Structure formats: C-alpha cells, structure tokens
Amino acid sequence: MTQYHSSTDRVQAWTEASVLHIRFNNPERHNALSVDMWQAIPPLLKQAESDDAIRLVVFSGAGEKAFVSGADISQFEDMRAAREAVTQYEKLAEEALMGIYRCSKPTLACIQGWCIGGGVNVAISCDIRLAADNSVFAIPAAKLGLGYRYSALKNLVHLVGVGAAKDLFFTGRRIDAAEAKALGLVTRVCPVDALPGLLAEYTSTLQSNAPLTIRAGKRIIEEILKDPADIDRALCQQLIRDCFESDDYAEGRRAFMDKRKPTFSGR
C-alpha cells in the first residue's frame, strides 16, 4: 500500500484497506483551518488520484468537539490584512476545496461537533456528508465582513437551494444537525456513538461497489450541474461505454448469475 505523508502535523493522513483518511488536527483551535492545513490537502488528493488501491477519501476532525470550526482567525492580520495576502490565502483555500470537489474518487465528510465557515465549505465540496446529532453548522461570513468565493456559494445553492442558501448566508445563523439534514446540507444524521458504525457502513459499501461505475456517475453528475449548452454529452456517453466494456461489468454479470458478491478490480 502506498504511504501517505502530510506536509504538516495539523493534517493527518493514513489508509485503512482502500480508504484514505484525511483528518484535520488542530484541536486546540477546534480544528480551525490554518494556511499549512489548506496547503496539505492538494498533494494528498493528487497522490490518491494516481493510487488505484484507493476507492474513497474520508475527511474528519480530530477530537470530539469539531469537524472544522472555520478559518484560523489568528492568521487574519498576517494573511488577510494586505491585498496580496488575501489573494494568496484565497488561492490556497480554493485550490484545496476544488481539489476535493473535482477528485475522481468519492469523498466523504464525517462530521462531529462544530462545522463552521470553512468547515461547511470542506463538507459541501465532498460527495457525501455524515453527521453526528451534536453537530452545529453556520456560515458566519456576514458577521466577519468576508467576501465569499463563487465556488462555495455555488456548491451551497446546489445542495440546499437558493432560498435556504440566502437564509444561511445572510443571517450567519447556526443550525443543528436535524435542520441541516432537512435542508439537504448533510446526507445522514445519527447519534454520536453511532457515527463510527455509520461511517463503517459507507466505507464498506463504497470499497466493494464498482469503482468505474462510481467514477463515471460522479463525472456525469458534474456535467449535469453545468449549463445545458456546456454539457459534454460525448464524454458522458464514453464514460458509460467504458463501464459496459470493463472487466468489472463482466464480473458483475457473473456474480449475479452465480448468486455471489462480486469482486471488482477497477478495470
């Protein structure tokens, strides 16, 4: 198995079977995102992209109090006070978030406790969001005077709709896991002590399902979200053909006829 090494101790990375775990590790600041944490994400995702053994990337937060509590505001004076610093900070965050969003492998946010600002951005960049029922969500940009990037608002609108996105963004109010689930901000909610089991359910399922089919589905959904005139329909058709022509499709048919669980190779 390929070894994964983070560029900072504030981001931990390890593998379990075919799952890459990336954990935000800044618990003294409730996993607030510092510059080095943003910088650590793209290289890990790039490595996962080229690693055929990895079928899922899971993001989580160290400790029990927070997934990510926002940006590390102790760096604001240094990183956001000057125009050039603002540009650099936003570039790092955008690169990390778009890396998560565009990752061809499925991505999952496992959320417990605070999920605020940049934490919400990380979560909504992922494909799936699981949350403990003690989770709290907010986008407090309007309370801080921050500009908010297009890509983050686009992801939010796609998930919860225009009305709910405006409500959350304009007010900056905090919502609990139940309301987040009702809005579509998270996929599943469970009691805190059941979160490891729910995560295991997803990791087991996504590791055993056909990776080419999942990858094709993720890429086609990305096309669906584009303006109709920009959709690459030829690409969508090719992705479908690739699945039907794969060894995995043959294995899936054989397993169905043999009444057994298929073993997919990703080829």
Domain residue limits, the chain: 11-206, 210-258
What is the average pLDDT score of the chain? Answer: 91
Q: Residue 255: which pLDDT band, with cuts at 50, 70 and 90?
A: confident
Which are the contacts of 260, defined by CB distance < 8 A and separation ≥ 6? Answer: none
pLDDT, residue 26, reads 93
Nearest partner of 117 among 95, 147, 86, 85, judged by Cα: 147
Q: Are 180 and 186 in contact (CB under 8 A)?
A: yes
Residues 183 and 136: their CA atoms lie apart, in Å, by: 14
Interstrand relation of 11-16 and 56-61 (parallel, antiparallel or unpaired):
unpaired
Query: Residue with structure tokens 């690459």?
Result: 232
pLDDT, residue 162, reads 97
Residues 214 and 72: their CA atoms lie apart, in Å, by: 35
Nearest partner of 20 among 61, 53, 52, 56, judged by Cα: 56
| C-alpha dist (Å) from residue 73 to 173, 202, 232 | 19, 34, 41
Query: Does CATH place domain 11-206 in 3.40.718.10?
Result: no
pLDDT in tens, 110-136: 999 999 999 999 999 999 999 999 999
Q: In what order do the strands lie in the sheet with 66-68?
A: 66-68, 114-116, 136-138, 175-176
| C-alpha dist (Å) from residue 76 to 11, 25, 38 | 20, 19, 14
pLDDT at 18 over 80: yes
